[in-house]
Amino acid sequence: MGVGVGGTRRGVLRTGTGLDLTDITAPRPVLHLDIKLSYACNNHCIHCVVADQRARALARGRDFRTTAEVLAELEDARRRGFGLVTFTGGEPTLRRDLPVLVRRAVALGLAVGLQTNGRVLCYAPAREALCGLGVRFVVALHGADAEVHDAVTRAPGSFEQTLSAMTALASRGEKVTGKVVISRRNKASLPAIADVLLRVGVRRLNLTFPHGLGNAARDYRGVVPRLSEVLPPLREAVVRMERAGGEAVTEAIPLCVLGDLAHIASENHYREHVRSEVRQLDQGPRDWSRDRVVEGKAKAEVCRDCPDDDRCEGVWREYLETYGDEELGPDGGRHR
Ligand code: SF4
């Protein structure tokens, strides 16, 4: 590939990250539907990528799918051979019909993931309606304490609710991933976040580098740290999680930056095992496996000589445009 900054990978990508599909393995790639139920949310995260999408969706008419629309899309996905659906948003647990949607997906034979901030799931009735169905709960935890987490979510009290939900889900034997979107505000907390997860019985950690859209784009340098700043605490978080028998994966961090942690990049897994289609509310269906790489990410000139060029996705385009490429390189550009 070897496409440089300002090279051929152009276009506007309006979608978020947030997948956690690294427990999906199959001889052939699994088809995955990522469906945004609505853009409403009870958090207001500093890194939120959908802040602008909501306005565009409302300009098109509304910022949610009806129950009937979602059910029809699930049927359609099953007919087209999809094996997996992730419900996301916005915050999908704000919808009263979520248990109906999840149960229908399960009945159709789809594996189900739920991308959530977990706050509503601190209430037993809402949580119980989703338990016992084999759902993978990917719960956003952005700090190891209320001070940091609530500063990221800009929602006082959110840490207590999210952690309460994670604790209850884990103690009930549900599949739970703790997902951190890394920011300047929480980068030093990554090891402590791993500790908190382990303490409540969650042994899976997703460390995602932020995409500079929505709220993150409004204050890019204030929200998004340099990759080289993130690596030391990220490494310590991975060590703590793995030492306790858990698992950590990264999203959107290039292989050369990860260095000897390159094997935990979730993109290694997606490339072989998952093909994703994203259904936003402000645009038509997107081939996310393609668009993530071709439109969302970019590479530097130095990537042309990199032995990992073919298997590395590079970095989010706006990162290179803001911070440049000096941290990248096949021999550990991070050390330059
Ligand atoms: S590993 Fe680094 S140098 Fe190699 S292709 Fe990826 S971003 Fe470029």
Residue 19 lies in a domain: no
Q: Establish whether residue 212 lines the binding site of ligand 1, counting it when its CB lies within 6 angstroms of any ligand atom.
A: no
Q: Is there a contact between 73 and 104 (Cβ–Cβ < 8 Å)?
A: no
Residue 22 lies in a domain: no
Q: Establish whether residue 255 lines the binding site of ligand 1, counting it when its CB lies within 6 angstroms of any ligand atom.
A: yes
Mutate to test the pocket of ligand 1, among 302, 311, 319 (most ligand atoms within 8 A of CB): 302
Q: Establish whether residue 253 lines the binding site of ligand 1, counting it when its CB lies within 6 angstroms of any ligand atom.
A: no
Residue 287 lies in a domain: yes
- Give the model's pLDDT for residue 333: 54
- Give the model's pLDDT for residue 7: 35
User: CA 226, CA 254: separation in Å to the nearest integer?
Assistant: 13
Closest CA to 293 of 9, 5, 8: 9
What is the domain extent for residue 197? Answer: 30-325
Residue 273 lies in a domain: yes
- CATH code, 267: 3.20.20.70
The domain tally of the chain equals 1
Mode of pairing for the β-strands spanning 286-287 and 274-279: antiparallel
Protein residue with least CA distance to atom 5, ligand 1? 309
- Give the model's pLDDT for residue 20: 62
Residue 6 lies in a domain: no
- Give the model's pLDDT for residue 91: 97
- Give the model's pLDDT for residue 292: 80
User: CA 334, CA 336: separation in Å to the nearest integer?
Assistant: 6
- Give the model's pLDDT for residue 15: 42
For the CA of 257, the closest atom of ligand 1 is 2
Closest CA to 134 of 188, 100, 173: 173
Q: Establish whether residue 328 lines the binding site of ligand 1, counting it when its CB lies within 6 angstroms of any ligand atom.
A: yes
- Give the model's pLDDT for residue 29: 86
Mutate to test the pocket of ligand 1, among 263, 319, 328, 331 (most ligand atoms within 8 A of CB): 328
Full pLDDT tens readout for the chain, 336 residues: 333 333 333 333 444 445 566 666 666 789 999 999 999 999 999 999 988 888 888 888 889 999 999 999 999 999 999 999 999 999 999 999 999 999 999 999 999 999 999 999 999 999 999 999 999 999 999 999 999 999 999 999 999 999 999 999 999 999 999 999 999 999 999 999 999 999 999 999 999 999 999 999 999 999 999 999 999 999 999 999 999 999 999 999 999 999 999 999 999 888 888 898 999 888 788 887 788 887 889 899 999 999 999 999 999 999 999 999 999 997 665 444
pTM (two decimals): 0.90
Residue 56 lies in a domain: yes
Residue 10 lies in a domain: no
Residue 197 lies in a domain: yes
User: CA 311, CA 301: separation in Å to the nearest integer?
Assistant: 16
